[in-house]
């Protein structure tokens, strides 16, 4: 049961709100149409129900508002606009990623592809799909969590009649299993044909709330549909008889053999055809353009319950995929809980997001090629230290190619999702939560280290191949440079992640990475100029004496090396930038959203 009570959007300047005190309900087991002209507030009403739009009022989904539902994706399925995914990702990878977000098994993705009839397109890119196939993917995404309620905004817009029939058949199948379906439309005939109940709104206010039959009788004109091979002759006959009887009859020739007669009935049309010897193949009363309803198609909830139904027995329409009736599910306690704002399996989700497209491979390939060429040029010119030679880091450049690549991968972690919302359509943009942030930082750090090792290995191999190991020497101290290299790459990747999360843009994330050496390092360098009045010599032994665990004296060298790295302007600037970005991320994204 969906109950919308007093929905009112935010007031506009010198104009009434788009939605004004709208109250209605969508019952389980029924398909409800929200009917209104373009601009009447249908989409705004849906966004108010999903708490994506500021305003007043409350919407109850089986007795609970959305912010009190622990896993909204398992209660409400939403189709708002286009498919929420990167066009370069395959259909199957997109659905598997959303499975991790909803906390359902990955096999659910393949099940839903079968249900919506696009199993053969599982390896197709989202950007290559037609409109009808995109709508099927969007429906599959909405149904992944086996929700009880479906909300759809203009689901049949732009579809062919065949695709419309399939779509409404799927919605009818969902409702027949006890689900509640609400879709918006601006076509009154489509609403009468496809819905059980029609809620009409105008200028954001409720006009009528009727059963589909009552709506068709009171707001749509009845007609008589006639099929005859002599359509023109029958139209002439009906017109002459109507003029003779002084009756208002409208006759519309819809095709070469089909007539629509308004203002008459089957008996009058049939008798007129019989008197004049006109052959009639079909004669039927219709309402508007309402034809035969589409037959229900297999549904995910039916597929999930089929294994639990004995052979020869009919499944219980009121049972969900877990064998519980909607009434039993609605008896769960409605205590206030924290809304789950990110994937329920964040690490798995992040891995699927990263490797769902070819971006990491293309980035790594480009970085390695540029690094190898830069390293060869530096070796040919000479007078470049070995550490910078292996990192392909000329003194004139603010960052080496590997650091820029790591920053780009980090910037895409959030920026790609804000460009192509991926978690769920009912969330608008991707929520920023601590679990999701931790997963992104961990995955990006691992990618940065892998990219750094790949670059150093490729540069060393290229130098050895071209110059016969001339520029390379066995280093006397390798641990400190390796730590510095790893810290630089991880720091750049994390700066990209945090900046893209704060500014909601991959471009802003990459700009933040470039701002560290260009803008922050000179300031830190000026602050660190001159000798320190309080040297840190002997810090290792003092810390060893204060700690409970006694580490060996050889570890003092590692501690001093780490301190030397931290006191470098680049490292200090990177740490300061990360601290600032983390604080900004906390202020903008980690605020509590518990509602009471």
Res 245 pLDDT > 80? yes
- Grouping H, G, I as helix, E, B as strand and the rest as coil, residue 302 is helix
Sheet holding 282-287, edge to edge: 250-255, 258-262, 222-227, 282-287
Question: Do the Cβ atoms of 204 and 20 come closer than 8 Å?
Answer: yes
Q: How confident is the model at residue 15 (pLDDT cuts 50, 70, 90)?
A: confident
Average pLDDT value over all residues in the chain: 81
Question: Do the Cβ atoms of 60 and 330 come closer than 8 Å?
Answer: no
pLDDT at 519: 74
Q: Which residue has the tokens 């052979």?
A: 311
Q: Per-domain residue ranges for the chain?
A: 1-75+180-220+293-324, 221-287, 346-528+567-589
Residues in the chain: 596
pLDDT in tens, 280-337: 998 988 765 444 444 444 544 544 443 333 333 333 434 443 344 444 444 333 333 4
Q: What is the DSSP string of 193-243?
A: HH-SEEEEEETTEEEEEEEHHHHHHHHS-EEEEEE-TTHHHHHHHHHHHHH
pLDDT in tens, 153-211: 999 999 999 999 999 999 999 999 999 999 999 998 899 889 999 999 999 999 999 99
Highest mean predicted confidence (pLDDT) among 49-53, 103-107, 390-394, 440-444: 440-444
Q: How confident is the model at residue 344 (pLDDT cuts 50, 70, 90)?
A: confident
60: left (phi > 0), else alpha (psi -120 to 50), else beta? beta
At a CB cut-off of 8 Å and minimum separation 6, what does 352 contact?
Answer: 93, 96, 97, 100
| Structure-block tokens of residue 52 | 């994506």
Who wins on pLDDT, 538 or 225?
225
Work out the burial of residue 537: count CB atoms within 10 Å of its CB; fewer than 13 is exposed, 13-18 middle, 19 or more buried: exposed
Q: Which has the minimum average pLDDT: 97-101, 104-108, 135-139, 212-216?
A: 212-216
pLDDT in tens, 207-229: 999 998 888 877 787 788 899 99
What is the C-alpha separation between 294 and 166, in angstroms, rounded? 7
pLDDT at 453: 95
What's domain 221-287's architecture? 2-Layer Sandwich (3.30)
- Grouping H, G, I as helix, E, B as strand and the rest as coil, residue 296 is coil
Res 243 pLDDT > 60? yes
pTM value is: 0.75
Q: Which has the minimum average pLDDT: 88-102, 412-426, 519-533?
A: 519-533
Res 96 pLDDT > 80? yes
pLDDT at 320: 42
Residue 594 φ/ψ, nearest 5 degrees: -75, 130
Instruction: Look at the domain 1-75+180-220+293-324 and name its fold.
Output: Rossmann fold (3.40.50)
Who wins on pLDDT, 116 or 541?
116
Res 342 pLDDT > 80? no
At a CB cut-off of 8 Å and minimum separation 6, what does 385 contact?
Answer: none
The closest alpha carbon to 454, from 485, 476, 491, 416, belongs to 485
What is the C-alpha separation between 301 and 115, in angstroms, rounded? 10
Highest mean predicted confidence (pLDDT) among 377-391, 547-561, 570-584: 377-391
378-395: average pLDDT: 86
Res 594 pLDDT > 50? no
Q: What is the DSSP string of 563-576?
A: HHHHTSHHHHHHHH
Q: How confident is the model at residue 254 (pLDDT cuts 50, 70, 90)?
A: confident
514-532: average pLDDT: 67
| Structure-block tokens of residue 201 | 């709104």
C-alpha distances in angstroms, 390 versus 119, 456, 471, 472? 48, 5, 10, 9
Tell me which H or E stretch contains 363: helix 359-381
541-561: average pLDDT: 58
State percent of the chain over pLDDT 70. Answer: 78
């Amino acid at each position: 049961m969906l109950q919308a009570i007093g929905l009112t959007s935010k007031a506009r300047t010198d104009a009434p709100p788009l939605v004004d005190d709208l109250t209605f309900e969508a019952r389980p087991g029924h398909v409800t149409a929200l009917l209104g002209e373009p601009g009447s507030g249908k989409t705004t009403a849906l966004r108010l129900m999903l708490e994506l739009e500021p305003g007043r009022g409350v919407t109850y989904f089986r007795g609970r508002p959305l912010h009190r539902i622990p896993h909204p994706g398992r209660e409400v399925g939403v189709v708002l606009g286009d498919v929420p995914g990167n066009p370069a990702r395959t259909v199957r990878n997109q659905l598997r990623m959303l499975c991790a977000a909803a906390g359902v098994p990955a096999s659910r993705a393949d099940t839903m592809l079968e249900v919506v009839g696009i199993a053969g397109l599982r390896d197709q890119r989202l950007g290559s799909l037609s409109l009808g196939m995109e709508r099927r993917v969007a429906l599959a995404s909405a149904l992944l969590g086996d929700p009880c309620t479906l909300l759809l905004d203009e689901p049949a817009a732009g579809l062919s009649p065949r695709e419309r029939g399939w779509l409404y058949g799927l919605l009818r199948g969902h409702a027949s299993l006890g689900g509640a379906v609400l879709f918006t439309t601006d076509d009154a005939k489509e609403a009468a044909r496809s819905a059980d109940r029609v809620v009409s709104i105008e200028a954001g206010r409720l006009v009528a709330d009727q059963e589909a039959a009552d709506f068709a009788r009171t707001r749509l004109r009845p007609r008589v549909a006639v099929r005859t091979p002599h359509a023109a002759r029958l139209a002439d006959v009906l017109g002459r008889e109507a003029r003779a009887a002084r009756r208002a009859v409208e006759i519309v020739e819809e095709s070469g053999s089909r007539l629509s007669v308004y203002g008459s009935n089957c008996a009058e049309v049939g008798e007129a055809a019989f008197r004049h010897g006109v052959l009639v193949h079909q004669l039927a009363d219709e309402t508007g353009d309402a034809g035969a309803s589409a037959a229900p198609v297999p549904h995910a909830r039916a597929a999930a319950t089929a294994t639990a139904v004995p052979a020869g027995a009919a499944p219980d329409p009121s049972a969900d995929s877990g064998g519980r009736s909607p009434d039993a599910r609605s008896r769960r306690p409605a205590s206030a809980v924290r809304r789950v704002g990110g994937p329920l399996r964040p690490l798995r989700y992040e891995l699927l997001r990263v490797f769902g497209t070819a971006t990491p491979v293309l980035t790594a390939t480009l970085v390695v090629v540029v690094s190898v060429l830069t390293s060869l040029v530096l070796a040919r010119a000479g007078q470049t230290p070995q550490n910078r030679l292996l990192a392909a880091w000329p003194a004139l450049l603010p960052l080496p190619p590997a650091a820029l690549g790591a920053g780009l991968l980090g910037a895409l972690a959030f920026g790609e999702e804000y460009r192509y919302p991926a978690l769920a359509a009912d969330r608008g943009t991707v929520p920023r939560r601590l679990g999701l942030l931790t997963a992104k930082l961990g995955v990006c750090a691992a990618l940065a280290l892998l990219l750094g090792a790949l670059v150093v290995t490729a540069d060393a191999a290229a130098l050895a191949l071209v110059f016969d190991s001339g520029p390379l020497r066995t280093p006397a101290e390798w641990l400190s440079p390796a730590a510095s290299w790893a810290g630089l790459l991880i720091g750049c990747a994390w700066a990209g992640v945090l900046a893209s999360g704060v500014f909601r843009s991959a471009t802003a994330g990459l700009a933040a990475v470039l701002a560290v050496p260009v803008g922050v390092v000179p300031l830190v360098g000026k602050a660190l100029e001159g000798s320190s009045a309080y040297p840190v010599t002997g810090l290792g032994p003092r810390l060893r004496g204060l700690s409970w665990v006694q580490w060996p004296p050889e570890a003092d060298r590692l501690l001093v090396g780490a301190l030397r790295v931290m006191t470098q302007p680049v490292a200090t600037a990177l740490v300061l930038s990360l601290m600032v970005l983390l604080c900004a991320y906390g202020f903008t994204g980690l605020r509590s959203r518990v509602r009471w």
